Amino acid sequence: MPVKINRKVPRREKPKPGGAVRAIRRSALNLMLESAKGALPNEFAGVLRAYDGVVTEVMVLPGTEQGAQAALYKFHMLPADRSVVGTVHSHPSGNYWPSGADLDLFDKFGTVHIIVGYPYNVNSWQAYDGRGRARDIQVIE
Ligand SMILES: [Zn+2]
């Protein structure tokens, strides 16, 4: 009797936009650190895109005003696919704790927000939840 071989390869599911964020790709982290350096003396501001709970992309929204005082977001410019899970911005002062205005922003939208502080290296950033509480996020390759 011939042996029936099941050649069906399990289909890889397409990564779903968004998800409960647990990690960030090192490439995305490096991009935000470099973007923060490039924006000096101003703040850099962008949004975080995640797929299956991993932040893979940093995006600057068209029309985002970047100034020394505050970075203003144009939330109507967000992509409609739910991939945007939060924000990232820089603090040229070096202090990477959220300001009062930051807390208002975090509260409005998103589940993970990153502040990178000068000198913008791998040790000068912190992730926060929507309530401004520091939260861990794993850096993966
Ligand atoms: Zn801030």
pLDDT tens-digit readout, 50-73: 999 999 999 886 656 555 444 556
Per-residue confidence (pLDDT) for residue 64, from 0 to 100? 60
**Cα 129 to ligand 1 centroid, rounded to whole Å:** 14
What residues flank ion ligand 1 with Cβ within 5 A? Answer: 99, 102
Tell me, in angstroms, the distance from the centre of ligand 1 to residue 67's CA.
12
Domains annotated for the chain, with CATH where assigned, are 23-64+83-140 (3.40.140.10)
Give the whole-number percent of the chain exceeding pLDDT 70: 83
Per-residue model confidence as pLDDT tens digits over 80-109: 888 999 999 999 999 999 999 899 889 888
Predicted model pTM: 0.84
Dist. CA 90 → ligand 1 center (Å): 7
Question: How would you label 54-90 residue by residue, b for 16+ Cβ within 10 Å and e otherwise?
Answer: bbbbbbbbeebebeeeebebeeeebeeeebbbbbbbb
